[in-house]
Structure 1
Amino acid sequence: MKAVDIMTANPLTATKGETLWVAAERMSAHHYGGLPVVDETGVYLGVLEMDDLLPKPENIPGAPDVIALQLFDKWVDEHSIHDFVQIYKEKRVEEVMRTEVPVLKPGDPLRVVLDKLIENLYRRMPVVDEGGRLVGIITRGDLLMLLMGRK
C-alpha cells in the first residue's frame, strides 16, 4: 500500500496571498483543522493550522509568574477580542503558515507514511508530485479509517 492509495486527492487548500479571514472561513465551513497552502500554480508551500489562528498562553514580560493569552504579538482579553477581526481581514496566510512540514510522495510506502505522520506528531501531511505540486493529503483520520478497514 502506498500514499496514493490512502490520500484524499485534490484537497481543499488555502493560497499564500489570501487573508486569514478567508482561510478561516473555509476551514470553519468544512470543519477542517488546517489547510495545505499552495501558490497560484498548485505548488505546495506550507500548512495553515487552526492552532496558528488561536491565542497561545505566554508569560507577561516583567511578571514571569503571570501567563496571559497572546496572538500575533498582541495580548488577548475580553476588551481586545474584537480587534482580531480586523487583523484576520488584513494578515495574509503566508505570514503565519508553517513551512517546515515534511511532505510525502504518491509512491511512498505505508511504512514511510506512518513514520512521518505519527513520529512527527503532524495532524495532516501533504502529498506532492515530482514538481512539488500538491496532489493529495493524508490525515490521521485517514490512517484511522484505514486501520478500521474503511479505506
Structure 2
Amino acid sequence: MKDILQKQIKAFMTKDVLAVKKDETIKHLFQLMDSHGILSVPIVDESNVVVGIVTESNLIKHFTTLKNPQGIHLLGSMVYLEDLTAFNEKLKDHCSEVVADLMSNPVVTISPEATLLDALNLMTEEKVNRLPVVDEGHHLMGIITRTDVLHQLAQIKKI
C-alpha cells in the first residue's frame, strides 16, 4: 500500500492533454469538451503556462444565467409568450464570449514529482476533481483526475 501511495504523479498522469488559449470562444471550448468527452480543459498562454481551467461546473453556471423565455403548453405544442429573438441573441452572445470570462483562476496544480498521496490530499483540501500537472515554470505537462487516483488506489492488494 505504501508503494502505491508514494508513486509519483508522472507515472500515471494523462500526458496528452487538450488545452486552449483564454481568447478562444466558449462555443469552441464547449464543442471541444463535448466531442472529446472531457469535463475540464486547462487554459494556457502562448508559452503553454497554465493560467486557468474551465470545468463542466463553470459552463453550467455560465449558461444558467440565461432565463428561459416564458411559454405555455397548448394542444401538445409550446407557445411562447415572448419574442424568442432576444433569447436567441443572448444565447449567441454567451457562446461568443471568450474562455477568460468564465475560467477559474488561480488554478490548483501539482508537480509531476508529487506522490499519489500528495494528489489525494491536495484534491481533498482544495475540493477539486482534477489537477493540472506543471513543471517549475508552470508549463502544462499533464493532468490527473480523481478517477486516475481511484484507479491507482484500486491496485492496492487486499490484506
Q: TM-score, normalised by structure 2?
A: 0.76
**Quick check: 1:10–1:134 contact (8 Å CA) kept in 2?**
no
Deviation sequence 1:36-95 (CA, Å, 0-9, x none): 111122111110112112247xxxxxxxxxxxx942xxx421456534531233211011
Amino acid in structure 1 at the alignment position of 2:68: D
2:53: which partner in 1?
Answer: 47
CA RMSD of aligned residues (A): 2.2
In the alignment, structure 1 residue 11 sits paired with structure 2 residue 17: yes
Deviates more, 1:138-147 or 1:81-90: 81-90
State the distance in 1 between where 2:92 and 2:32 align. 17
**Quick check: 2:48–2:140 contact (8 Å CA) kept in 1?**
yes
Q: TM-score, normalised by structure 1?
A: 0.79
Bigger radius of gyration among the two: 2
| Greater strand fraction, Structure 1 or Structure 2 | 1
| Greater helix fraction, Structure 1 or Structure 2 | 2
State the distance in 1 between where 2:69 and 2:128 align. 31
In the alignment, structure 1 residue 32 sits paired with structure 2 residue 38: yes
* Overall identity of the aligned pairs, in %: 28
Secondary structure of 1:82's counterpart equals helix
Aligned length: 135
**Quick check: 2:58–2:102 contact (8 Å CA) kept in 1?**
yes
**Quick check: 2:51–2:107 contact (8 Å CA) kept in 1?**
no
Distance 1:78-1:55 versus aligned 2 partners, 3 A rule: farther
Structure 2: tracts of 5 or more residues without a match = 1-6, 71-85
The equivalent position to 1:146 in structure 2, one of 148, 152, 155, is: 152
